[in-house]
Chains A and B, each alone.
Chain A
């Protein structure tokens, strides 16, 4: 990689240099004019910080949720006023280290960030390390991994920090050689002089730390000079993964942390009336039994012994608060909660439909695991946390310790899909360690995960579209869901972004709903309303949150509307998509996926579109439903436009994973509630897709990169799920109304 540096000139306004953090103005109303202050951090070798700052207008509480913003923008706004946002270090050992204030759970974020740093800095990719930063309360709202927002929120500041570091390394080399800094180049973690001399970043790191004002611009390169960004790149941690070296929380060797499991009630949120532990305590390897609010914990020398002793506990369980409720009852409550339609079906023709979606477990491959070492005056924890600051605060409060006495190390997660927004295991581990007076390594069993873990709330949808003379006049969508738990810092973040929910007169869930749920089509007068049924159970955002329900129902309805109006589903969508980028995505899919080709009986194609996170995507699937009990997606094609793509290979992986989520939740994977308990208990009955459900043919086409990066982690789920549902409808000649269809 060769990076010609532009000639020195006055420092552009976009990046200003300083030697100390500069406080930011108050929250602005627009994120379109982001400006980065970069500054040196006191350190023996080069360390550069980047901090967002804006020439902002004064903050005002917004009366409602403006349409121009989506959830990602709101979260970026919330993160603005944090100092020490990012720190990039170049060590004298030649490592380039970016402490990432986010969680890696398989979305490929560490790789994308390493690519950005390497490209901007002129470093070898292999020289860049991206460890996960521990909880840093000073980051306020800027350490939340979610809403497909990480690349969107980090693209500019990471490049600003790397550009500032590069300018200082070049300046240090220029001084050493008494050459004009503008004549130097950077390549492969070294500065090169025209005469062939070179100085490695390692050798320059200390001198560069003394450069207060660089002699070359410290602005990020124009896109045209990016070399690595946009290139398909393998994951930086792939070798560790395939050799078994990658460490997850349960693999950490924390001194003294003993294997621990918790016996949990048969019903959700059931209680312990009384218990006897004598038999369990006498079992081999058992080190202790302690009671916590959620059950009875057993500590042992090995997990095997802990689990066997757990089975030996004698516990009298009290029923949970839902013990009289089953799926039918919950569905009834959801129906009853629906707000009415505004338009009576009197004067026009109309299409009405109702949809039900089952509860879905997150079931990340790595069960919740947390290590806690709680002492009288301090605590140290290790787990995969999407919202580590909120977790740290909650754990400190639980332990009665000041925040500064609680250290939370963020550990890579084995999948998440929203699950690690909550720190249930971390909190329990802290309680157990405190009660037992020793460090513990708490692991939820898979049964715990499915039966007591969080889940995507069940939902009920009523949709009415009226039409006349081939035109859709109105489109109304009423959504009722079991309440989604967002108590992982989202409300505080939105408040910080100047959304005054009380002024707007809406709940946090409704704010989330309004910020994320946008119908991409012109379908006349359209309204979407959310009603929630609060139930005392463990819910949480599941990859793509409301869109995985609302937009799936929309896309099925759009197919049915097209059929009613005698139009081709792809053409119908295209003619009503207001966004040109979306139309281009659809056009590309129709061509790349060979839409409309003849299919044998019992087979069909299905298509669907979704736009969110400043991105758009469409899927075309081919489904073999000749055996209705065992349908198989035989082929899938996805087309996406996510603006600036950092790593196409990573993006394709996200769209592939989203497809498997869509296949799973549409066709076969969900959980039942029977009298307040989850019926399923493992992957044997929570039927997430296996290899035999995955299409042997799969292709992704990416639209040419443009603008800034959009979000992609959750983008694919709604369109993938809906494309499968639409293929099912066409293959079986039915109108699917309840998901998963085989349940």
Chain B
């Protein structure tokens, strides 16, 4: 390849800590997290924004890191499932997930939880119709318990 320019470097705040990473500008955040930073909570399930297994937050909004290039994250706050709890104190949505025993294989659950947290931030008291709009796939079929857990977290005022 000609004129191989130096790989650019990006700084952002990941789960409360500043990180700097060298990566091509168009590399999706998912692979920067997983392959360069060793943050494996966000899962690959499709790579095209459909399954939502990778769901995380950019600033406070839900994103699918498989479709967000790392350059769009520069100078911003990235939160993955690993950054949700406050030390040993679980986030109320994580606690609701434990109380409802939501997880089966667990693979989709980091994404489901991050989606639910974002939903409750936008809509503190979601209706069934609001919950129906969640697109995250759970191939184990835990949807009913996800619904119950979201309602529990909403009732607890998360």
A363, CB-defined interface residue at 8 Å: yes
Q: Which residue of the partner chain B has the closest CB to A244?
A: B41
Q: Using A282-B1, A682-B51, A691-B143 as known contacts, say yes or no to A242 and B98 having CB atoms under 8 A apart.
A: yes
Asked if B145 and A365 make an inter-chain contact with CB atoms under 8 angstroms apart, the answer reads: no
0/1 interface trace, chain A 639-658, chain B, CB 8 Å (1 if under): 00000000001000100111
Q: Per a CB cutoff under 8 Å, which of A239, A658, A682 touches B48?
A: A682
Complex alpha-carbon distance, A259 and B32, angstroms: 13
Q: Using A365-B137, A446-B47 as known contacts, say yes or no to A246 and B35 having CB atoms under 8 A apart.
A: no
Inter-chain contacts of B101 with A (CB < 8 A): 234-235, 238, 649, 653
| Interface residue stretch chosen among A29-37, A77-85, A301-309, A325-333 | A301-309
Complex alpha-carbon distance, A684 and B53, angstroms: 14
Complex alpha-carbon distance, A244 and B94, angstroms: 11
| Interface residue stretch chosen among A114-122, A248-256, A670-678 | A248-256
Complex alpha-carbon distance, A412 and B105, angstroms: 8
0/1 interface trace, chain A 692-711, chain B, CB 8 Å (1 if under): 11111010000000000000
Q: Which residue of the partner chain B has the closest CB to A650?
A: B101
A175, CB-defined interface residue at 8 Å: no
Q: Max chain A CB contacts within 10 Å: which of B103, B134, B145?
A: B103
Complex alpha-carbon distance, A234 and B110, angstroms: 18
Q: Using A303-B31, A446-B51, A690-B134 as known contacts, say yes or no to A243 and B90 having CB atoms under 8 A apart.
A: yes
A496, CB-defined interface residue at 8 Å: no
B152, CB-defined interface residue at 8 Å: no
Q: Using A242-B109, A691-B143 as known contacts, say yes or no to A106 and B36 having CB atoms under 8 A apart.
A: no
Asked if B98 and A239 make an inter-chain contact with CB atoms under 8 angstroms apart, the answer reads: yes
Complex alpha-carbon distance, A105 and B104, angstroms: 8
Complex alpha-carbon distance, A102 and B27, angstroms: 38
A79 CB, nearest partner CB in chain B, Å:
25
Complex alpha-carbon distance, A417 and B104, angstroms: 12
Asked if B47 and A689 make an inter-chain contact with CB atoms under 8 angstroms apart, the answer reads: no
B81, CB-defined interface residue at 8 Å: yes
Asked if A691 and B146 make an inter-chain contact with CB atoms under 8 angstroms apart, the answer reads: yes
Inter-chain contacts of B44 with A (CB < 8 A): 250, 303, 367, 443
A701 CB, nearest partner CB in chain B, Å:
15
B40, CB-defined interface residue at 8 Å: yes
Asked if B143 and A694 make an inter-chain contact with CB atoms under 8 angstroms apart, the answer reads: yes
B117-158 residues with Cβ-Cβ distance < 8 A to A are 128, 131-147
**Total number of B residues with any Cβ neighbor in A under 8 Å:** 63
Q: Per a CB cutoff under 8 Å, which of B1, B35, B41, B142 touches A657?
A: B142
Asked if B27 and A365 make an inter-chain contact with CB atoms under 8 angstroms apart, the answer reads: no
Q: Max chain A CB contacts within 10 Å: which of B101, B131, B132, B146?
A: B101
Q: Using A682-B50, A684-B50, A691-B143 as known contacts, say yes or no to A414 and B105 having CB atoms under 8 A apart.
A: yes
Complex alpha-carbon distance, A240 and B109, angstroms: 11
Q: Using A105-B105, A304-B28, A307-B47 as known contacts, say yes or no to A365 and B138 having CB atoms under 8 A apart.
A: yes
Asked if A694 and B147 make an inter-chain contact with CB atoms under 8 angstroms apart, the answer reads: yes
Q: Using A238-B98, A414-B106, A657-B141 as known contacts, say yes or no to A304 and B27 having CB atoms under 8 A apart.
A: yes
B74, CB-defined interface residue at 8 Å: no
Complex alpha-carbon distance, A467 and B116, angstroms: 54
Complex alpha-carbon distance, A693 and B80, angstroms: 27
Q: Using A107-B104, A365-B108 as known contacts, say yes or no to A244 and B82 having CB atoms under 8 A apart.
A: yes
Q: Per a CB cutoff under 8 Å, which of B27, B46, B82, B132 touches A691?
A: B132
Inter-chain contacts of B40 with A (CB < 8 A): 244, 247, 250-251
Q: Using A243-B85, A284-B24, A692-B133 as known contacts, say yes or no to A660 and B38 having CB atoms under 8 A apart.
A: no
0/1 interface trace, chain B 23-66, chain A, CB 8 Å (1 if under): 01001101110111010111111111011010000000000000
Q: Max chain B CB contacts within 10 Å: which of A417, A649, A660, A683?
A: A683
A570 CB, nearest partner CB in chain B, Å:
24
Inter-chain contacts of A17 with B (CB < 8 A): none
Inter-chain contacts of B135 with A (CB < 8 A): 690-691
Q: Using A107-B104, A253-B38, A445-B47 as known contacts, say yes or no to A365 and B144 having CB atoms under 8 A apart.
A: no
A298 CB, nearest partner CB in chain B, Å:
14
Complex alpha-carbon distance, A445 and B44, angstroms: 9
A3, CB-defined interface residue at 8 Å: no
A617 CB, nearest partner CB in chain B, Å:
15
B95 CB, nearest partner CB in chain A, Å:
8
Complex alpha-carbon distance, A364 and B138, angstroms: 9
Asked if B144 and A242 make an inter-chain contact with CB atoms under 8 angstroms apart, the answer reads: no
Inter-chain contacts of B48 with A (CB < 8 A): 446, 682, 684
Q: Which residue of the partner chain B has the closest CB to A662?
A: B141
B99 CB, nearest partner CB in chain A, Å:
8
Inter-chain contacts of A259 with B (CB < 8 A): 35
A39, CB-defined interface residue at 8 Å: no
A263 CB, nearest partner CB in chain B, Å:
15
Give chain A's interface residue range (CB within 8 Å of chain B).
35 or more
Q: Which residue of the partner chain A has the closest CB to B114?
A: A244
Q: Per a CB cutoff under 8 Å, which of A106, A241, A683 touches B137?
A: A683
B59-93 residues with Cβ-Cβ distance < 8 A to A are 80-82, 84-85, 90
Inter-chain contacts of A157 with B (CB < 8 A): none
A45 CB, nearest partner CB in chain B, Å:
30
Q: Using A244-B40, A303-B31, A691-B134 as known contacts, say yes or no to A367 and B143 having CB atoms under 8 A apart.
A: no
Inter-chain contacts of B12 with A (CB < 8 A): none
B107, CB-defined interface residue at 8 Å: yes
B80 CB, nearest partner CB in chain A, Å:
7
Inter-chain contacts of B27 with A (CB < 8 A): 302, 304-305
Complex alpha-carbon distance, A445 and B136, angstroms: 18
Q: Which residue of the partner chain B has the closest CB to A232?
A: B101
B16 CB, nearest partner CB in chain A, Å:
14
Complex alpha-carbon distance, A511 and B51, angstroms: 38
B14, CB-defined interface residue at 8 Å: no
Q: Per a CB cutoff under 8 Å, which of B84, B105, B128, B145 touches A656?
A: B145
B33 CB, nearest partner CB in chain A, Å:
11
Complex alpha-carbon distance, A46 and B12, angstroms: 50
B120 CB, nearest partner CB in chain A, Å:
15
Q: Which residue of the partner chain B has the closest CB to A302?
A: B35
Inter-chain contacts of B113 with A (CB < 8 A): 242
A371 CB, nearest partner CB in chain B, Å:
13
Inter-chain contacts of B42 with A (CB < 8 A): 244
Q: Using A242-B113, A250-B44, A684-B50 as known contacts, say yes or no to A363 and B144 having CB atoms under 8 A apart.
A: no
Asked if B144 and A237 make an inter-chain contact with CB atoms under 8 angstroms apart, the answer reads: no
Q: Max chain B CB contacts within 10 Å: which of A248, A284, A659, A694?
A: A694
A366, CB-defined interface residue at 8 Å: yes
Q: Using A250-B40, A303-B34 as known contacts, say yes or no to A106 and B140 having CB atoms under 8 A apart.
A: yes
A436-453 residues with Cβ-Cβ distance < 8 A to B are 443, 445-446
B81 CB, nearest partner CB in chain A, Å:
4
A162-192 residues with Cβ-Cβ distance < 8 A to B are none
A613 CB, nearest partner CB in chain B, Å:
19
A132, CB-defined interface residue at 8 Å: no
Residues of B within 8 A of A (CB): 1, 4, 7, 24, 27-28, 30-32, 34-36, 38, 40-48, 50-51, 53, 80-82, 84-85, 90, 94, 97-98, 101-110, 113, 128, 131-147
Q: A245-B82, A303-B44, A443-B44 are in contact. List 16 more A-B contacts (CB 8 A).
A: A239-B90, A248-B107, A284-B7, A302-B35, A304-B27, A304-B28, A365-B43, A366-B107, A412-B105, A649-B101, A656-B142, A683-B45, A690-B137, A691-B135, A691-B143, A694-B144
A-B contact pairs, 26 of them (CB 8 A): A106-B107, A237-B106, A241-B103, A241-B106, A243-B84, A243-B94, A247-B40, A253-B38, A282-B1, A284-B4, A284-B7, A303-B35, A303-B44, A364-B105, A367-B45, A649-B101, A653-B104, A653-B142, A682-B46, A683-B137, A690-B137, A691-B131, A691-B147, A692-B132, A694-B144, A698-B144
In the A-B complex, list the 4 residue pairs whose CB atoms are closest, starting with the nearest.
Answer: A660-B141, A244-B41, A106-B105, A414-B107
